[in-house]
Structure 1
Amino acid sequence: MLKEVIATRYIAPLREGGSLPGLVEADDGGTYGTYVLKFSGAGQGRKTLVAEVVCGELARRLGLRVPRLVTIELDPVLGLGEPDQEVQELLKSSGGTNLGMDFLSGALGFDPLAFEVGPEEAGRIVWFDALVNNVDRSWRNPNLLVRRGEVWLIDHGATMIWHHNWPGAPASAARPYDASDHALQPFAPDVAAAAEALAPLVTEELLAEVTAAVPDAWLTGEPGFATPDDLRRAYARPLLARAAVIHERIQGVR
């Protein structure tokens, strides 16, 4: 499971994200840190948070850089003094368990004209995005940060689109991945080498570990699934099947 921290102060909205994430201070066992908070009450719903955890924790275990993820317990009372009505409503509707990630101080948004990525690293990121069907890593919106010369992956809420229609998940997960618009496409990503290195790591055991990090509260009550663990296994199945073959179905890579 993810570590739990407790929100103590809402600092500011981050308006770059479609779900209006916020910057918060939280108590991490007696020390205070700054986190990007993604609200459980946002319009995209809890599936966005599930995708963030599954993909973020999977990426980390595959050796990619992702900010540390935590759960943030939020008391709606923090919204009482917020002057922005939209933010106030989000705070009030998101009491309980939310998702947080370490705020990377000093990080800059990725600019392909100012920062070069080698073919090996580009290949690993493109292969990972193909695995989880990330449609939100384009040159228009890279969802990459650069900090101290290193590339970090953020914002995985728009992945695994098959979890929005579980009956159609097998067919959806079997589709190719179009990387022609990917932010790292210009860097000649070595997808074949990435597949050779990473695909064998995606095992049932690894996916069970990754999906176990998702709080039960975000999985309970999904139609067609009796328990959160049933739903966890449903998340793992398409990823396990996709890992073995997705490198053959990536389109648009030079």
Structure 2
Amino acid sequence: MSKTIDIRTVDVVQYIKPLREGGSLPGIVNANDDFFYVLKFRGAGQGKKALISELMGGELARALGLKVPELVFMNLDDSFSKTEPDEEIQDLLKFSVGLNLGLHFLSGAITFDPLVNAVDAITASKIVLLDSLISNIDRTVKNTNLLIWNNELWVIDNGASFYFHHNWDLYKNHLTRTFPLIKDHVLLPWATKLGEAAKEIKKAFSSEKLEEIIALIPEDWLLDESEKMSPEDMRLAYMEYFQAKLAMIDKLVKEAEDAR
């Protein structure tokens, strides 16, 4: 029986500094459990949908046995925007009051560099195929979104995935699509065991595991006055998407192999 996912909820007690490398301006914060986190803001560019992608992408990677920093829900109150001198960050803090998402901060980690670092074939294949499955457009040479920490490869930043959920009216169009952008994936040169990775993905991503990951999404993140779909309909649509992608995993393997 698979282990139940338990996402802790913590409170932000100190905003330390912004990480200006990211387009969405995540910040390093301290929480009431005395740990440091990279906080992803609900008030940033892609809003709550980026947090949903981050949450699901991270927990799918973890279910596949990949290294992912702990993800936590983070409560942010309105006191931080009042003391922040930078206007841009002040607005971000103001629009992000409520429940956000944090990744455990890996102190001293370095960005994966394909010219310097190598990665084993099965790990590379799993990451490539997972990113194809979740349509992650943001793991390229330009922006690897991978870290080396304690001599191990860690997967971070899955927020640019599941781009079908930015337009629910057309989500069914994505159910049969492959992912041609996999040709730009930073780990493609090492991904020589895609067939083996596909078997592991099918085994790891049971219906129960997928339902458990989708159930983690806070109701609040799915509520949107501009959407016709209810949160429950959206959860069913995510499940439909996963099942459709798993059903065509051999096509995704072939596409990645041809690209390599």
TM-score by length of 1: 0.93
Q: Deviations over 1:96-154 (max 9, x none)?
A: 11111100111100001111111111111101111101111111111100111111111
Question: How far 1:168 moved relative to its partner?
Answer: 2.0
List structure 1 runs of 4+ shifted beyond 6 angstroms: none
1:118 maps to 120
Q: Secondary structure at the match of 1:240?
A: helix
2:228 maps to 224
2:3 maps to none
Correspondences of 1:4-43 after superposition (within 5 Å)? 4-28=9-33, 32-43=34-45
Please tell me whether residue 235 in structure 1 is matched to residue 238 in structure 2. Answer: yes
Correspondences of 1:52-201 after superposition (within 5 Å)? 52-178=54-180, 179-201=182-204
Over the aligned positions, Cα root-mean-square deviation in angstroms equals: 1.5
Question: How far 1:80 moved relative to its partner?
Answer: 1.8
Given residue 177 of structure 1, which amino acid in structure 2 is its aligned partner?
F
Structure ranking higher in helix proportion: 2
Q: Secondary structure at the match of 1:205?
A: helix
Higher mean C-alpha deviation, range 64-73 or range 229-238: 229-238
Q: Deviations over 1:199-253 (max 9, x none)?
A: 2322221111001111111012362323x33321211211122023234233444
Given residue 3 of structure 1, which amino acid in structure 2 is its aligned partner?
R
Partners of 1:158 and 1:169 in 2: how far apart? 16
Is the 8 Å Cα contact of residues 222 and 234 (structure 2) preserved in structure 1?
yes
Aligned residues: 250
Is the 8 Å Cα contact of residues 19 and 27 (structure 2) preserved in structure 1?
yes
Partners of 2:191 and 2:147 in 1: how far apart? 19
Given residue 161 of structure 1, which amino acid in structure 2 is its aligned partner?
Y
Any unmatched runs of 5+ in structure 1? none
TM-score by length of 2: 0.91
Is the 8 Å Cα contact of residues 3 and 70 (structure 1) preserved in structure 2?
yes
Equivalent position to 2:213, from 210, 214, 218:
210
Is the 8 Å Cα contact of residues 35 and 100 (structure 1) preserved in structure 2?
yes
Equivalent position to 2:249, from 218, 242, 246:
246
Partners of 2:192 and 2:241 in 1: how far apart? 24
Q: Deviations over 1:23-59 (max 9, x none)?
A: 000012xxx1100001111121111111111111111
Partners of 1:188 and 1:36 in 2: how far apart? 29
Q: Secondary structure at the match of 2:35?
A: strand
Is the 8 Å Cα contact of residues 145 and 151 (structure 1) preserved in structure 2?
yes
Identity across aligned pairs (percent)? 45
Partners of 1:39 and 1:169 in 2: how far apart? 25
